[in-house]
Amino acid sequence: MSKLKQLAQTLGLSITTVSRALDGYSDVAPATRERVRAAAQAINYRPNSAARSLRRRRAEAIAVTLPLEPGRFGPAVFLNMLAACSQRLAEEGLDLMLLPTASRAAEMETYRRLIEGGRADAVIVVRTRLDDERVAFLKERGIPFVTHGRTGRSEEHAYIDGDGAAGFREATRLLASMGHRRIAHIAAPQDLTFAHLRRSGWLAGLAEEGLTDALERASQPTEAGGYEATLWLLDQPTPPTSILCATDSIAIGALSALKDRGLAAGRDIAVIGHDNLPSAAFTDPPLSTMEIATPDVGRQLAEMLIARLGGRDPRELQTILPVRQVPRATHGTPN
């Protein structure tokens, strides 16, 4: 538990009230400010410079936009991560705003309203692109931000990311070691950085194993996209014996397509995804997948953002985390 949270619980006050009292805001009663300061002095608590800089900002809010997907709000992989991020930011008196956007144009308009209206102190950018207009806009406006994922110019901004290229290279080589020679890939749109890196890892794995049959199909990173792409792969003159999917959502669609064709994942065709969604363990059969090997990505993202608000150089805040394989039942050797 942080000292700020401990102080708030001891005094029976909210974290926001304690934060504002320590920074002398006039909307906190003078008697409350003195009580908070005395309690803080008693436990030798002094707010760090990053947190003080953060709390003195006007909006006391961090924004993150998430794309709307059919029937749901945002990619599921981000929701648990952002919940952990929100908890850490709340310890510093900050709210995390999740904003749905239906298109890239709508997302940029949301960014302009937020920044020009002073409604957010900083921004978290998710599902980054190689050429990301959001990153360019935030840099131009001088707004602190961090990204979940890299861009084509990652050396210029703060980010945290998983090593998707290494994960897909390892998965490809694993399948090859099990006897697979036709390892197909269902790729997400290649303007998305994660999709580009994962495809690069698949190609690197094929090259290292001396495999030249690079059968692939692009799709949207959804179950429907994976379903249609898998049917296309199965209809090729030489269909694959294994399918490496850019996301778990794509892989879940692939499992459905295999079942509709009377095929069993893990017996007839191997399938591996990425993200380790909660639902992946409960597909039929359970989905083999991979995930970022660090459980506290959301909290790390929040710490990185607090450091940026405190003036830390973004080039000192760049982290690539390892990816681990999560083998279950859907990968296996070809017949």
Q: pLDDT truncated to tens, each residue of the chain (335 aa)? A: 577 888 888 898 888 788 778 876 666 788 888 898 888 888 888 776 555 555 555 668 999 998 876 556 667 778 889 999 999 999 888 999 999 998 899 999 999 999 888 889 999 999 999 999 999 999 999 999 999 999 999 999 999 999 999 999 999 999 999 999 999 999 999 999 999 999 999 999 999 999 999 999 999 999 999 999 999 999 999 999 999 999 999 999 999 999 999 999 999 999 999 999 999 999 999 999 999 998 899 999 999 999 998 888 999 999 999 999 999 999 976 54
Listed residue (280, 279, 295) closest to 328, CA to CA: 280
Is there a common fold for 3-47 and 164-293? no
Is the CATH number 3.40.50.2300 carried by domain 164-293? Answer: yes
* 142 backbone φψ class: left, alpha, beta (φ>0; ψ -120 to 50): left
Q: How far apart are CA 150 and CA 164, in angstroms?
A: 11
**How is residue 303 written in tokens?**
């710490």
Instruction: Tell whether omega for the bond before 285 is within 30 degrees of 0, i.e. cis.
Output: yes
Write down the pTM of the prediction.
0.82
**CATH number of the domain at 3-47, out of 1.10.260.40, 3.90.960.10, 2.60.120.560, 1.20.1560.10?**
1.10.260.40
pLDDT of residue 9: 87
pLDDT of residue 158: 97
pLDDT of residue 72: 60
Cα-based distances in Å from 87 to 3, 45, 96, 241: 15, 20, 9, 44
pLDDT of residue 160: 97
pLDDT of residue 335: 46
Q: What sign does the dihedral 319-324-223-297 (CA atoms) show?
A: negative
Q: In 91-191, where does DSSP find H-type helix?
A: 104-116, 133-141, 164-177
Contacts within 8 Å (CB) and 24+ apart, 259-267: 261/231, 261/234, 263/234, 265/329, 265/330, 266/329, 266/330, 266/331, 266/332, 267/332, 267/335
Fold category of 61-159+294-320 in CATH: Rossmann fold (3.40.50)
Single-letter amino acid code for the residue at 118: G
**How is residue 150 written in tokens?**
């890299």
Where do the domains of the chain lie?
3-47, 61-159+294-320, 164-293
pLDDT of residue 69: 65
DSSP state of 158: -
Listed residue (244, 243, 190, 251) closest to 225, CA to CA: 251
